[in-house]
Amino acid sequence: MADIEGIKILNLSSKKRAKNLSKKYDIPLINSKSAKTFISMGDKSILHFENNKLENSFIAGKFNTRIKQHQSETILKKAVGWQSSVQKHILDATGGLGHDSFILALLGQKITLLEKNTGLCILIEEALNNLPNLPYFNNARDNISIINKDSRAFLTSAEHFDVIYIDPMFNSDKKLKRSKQMEFLANYLAEYDDPSIDFYQTKFKRMVIKKEFRSSSGIKDDPAISFKGASIKYDVYL
């Protein structure tokens, strides 16, 4: 798996944030021209990898439509057992760009997001930081804690969470048309990892696995229930 060599500061206004992120994630500030995989921080924060670029905004592009319609995420709500009056604590074991976590946070859930790739953790931090100052965004941001670790570090505490949420997503048997972001992630991360079998062997209350329709699972047992959407499904184990 590739990961960033450091953070490049492009303008003065991003210097303080870059320094904080460099400290939090123990990643150097760099100015070398030879760096191939890095995050540049200027007006936008961009992950660079082999001349390809990845941005992560929660308020632009396709994801913004999901944000605006987050109350209509019916199958996701059913999968995590959402109740309007209860705040569940969800462990997102495959954080990625933080999109699913952010939808769940907007739906009032408390999220511990685990992502083992440092570059992606910083892109999530930046997407959260660039949200407009609005109460529902501020509440959602406060609901998310980001931890840069292999989620297997949480196997022994799985039972303390109401839901373990896992989206490995690169395991399709059929060639699906991928978004540019997903294409970037597949090349950048290169090695496929799926911690679901490890979590399945622990004590957990509820585990939700997001899958493309025909993807195979390492878990041989049938889920207690599946919720199907247009191209993906959520398998729920209890």
Ligand X SMILES: C[S@@+](CC[C@H](N)C(=O)[O-])C[C@H]1O[C@@H](n2cnc3c(N)ncnc32)[C@H](O)[C@@H]1O
Residue of closest CB approach to ligand X? 96
Does 189 contact ligand X by CB under 6 A? yes
Question: In sequence order, which ranges of the chain are alpha helices (DSSP H)?
Answer: 15-24, 61-68, 74-80, 99-106, 118-129, 135-142, 180-189, 196-200
Does 117 contact ligand X by CB under 6 A? yes
Handedness of CA 178, 179, 182, 187 (dihedral sign): positive
Taking the complex as a whole, the smallest distance from the CB of residue 40 to ligand X amounts, in Å, to 20
Contact stretch for ligand X (CB under 6 A) within 29-37, 75-83, 156-164, 167-175: 167-175
Between 195 and 223, name the residue whose CB sits nearer to ligand X: 195
Q: Specify burial of residue 205 (Cβ count, 10 A radius: 0-12, 13-18, 19+).
A: middle
Does 112 contact ligand X by CB under 6 A? no
Between 2 and 10, name the residue whose CB sits nearer to ligand X: 2
Does 195 contact ligand X by CB under 6 A? yes
How many separate helices (H) and strands (E) can be counted in the chain? 8, 11
Contact stretch for ligand X (CB under 6 A) within 78-86, 145-153, 172-180, 218-226: 145-153
Does 167 contact ligand X by CB under 6 A? yes
Kindly list the residues in this chain that would bind ligand X in the complex (CB under 6 A). Answer: 93-94, 96-100, 114-117, 120, 150-152, 167-169, 189, 193, 195
